[in-house]
Amino acid sequence: MEFRLTFLLLVLFLCMVQVPSETIIEEQKHTQVVKGATRKLFQFVDCGGLCKARCSLHSRQNVCKRACGTCCSRCKCVPPGTSGNRERCGSCYTDMRTHGNKFKCP
């Protein structure tokens, strides 16, 4: 009987120890590691939410969100506001062009 009680207490203790380690794993999901020669650590960017806000006043919202999503996934940045401020995301965002040589990123 004592063995069962001791075993039960040990199992409960191990379950309680496992909970904090899972929360640490959840926090680490917000970063991405890119493996290769440059090995950089990128911060997670919610492209869907940021592009939805960026394109909220656009006349063609679906086209805007698609282009914004492409630019966000490549550059890991979406400028603040609904228009302008493109220089905030750097040359990756400002220099990306379409096949018609127009600016790709909204």
DSSP letter (8 states) at residue 103: B
Q: What average pLDDT does the chain have?
A: 78
Strand partners, 103: 97
Measured in whole angstroms, how far is the alpha carbon of residue 57 from the centre of its chain? 23
Q: Is the pTM of this model over 0.85?
A: no
For 32-90, write each residue's pLDDT tens digit: 444 455 455 556 788 999 999 999 999 999 999 999 999 999 999 999 999 889 899 99
The domain limits of the chain are 47-95
Give the CA radius of gyration of the chain.
23
Which residues are paired to 40 by β-bridges?
A: 34
pLDDT at 22 over 50: no
| ∠ Cα 79 42 30 (to 5°) | 95
At 40 the pLDDT is 52
pLDDT at 4: 77
CA 53, CA 69: separation in Å to the nearest integer?
12
Q: CA-CA distance, 44 to 76, in Å (whole number)?
A: 8
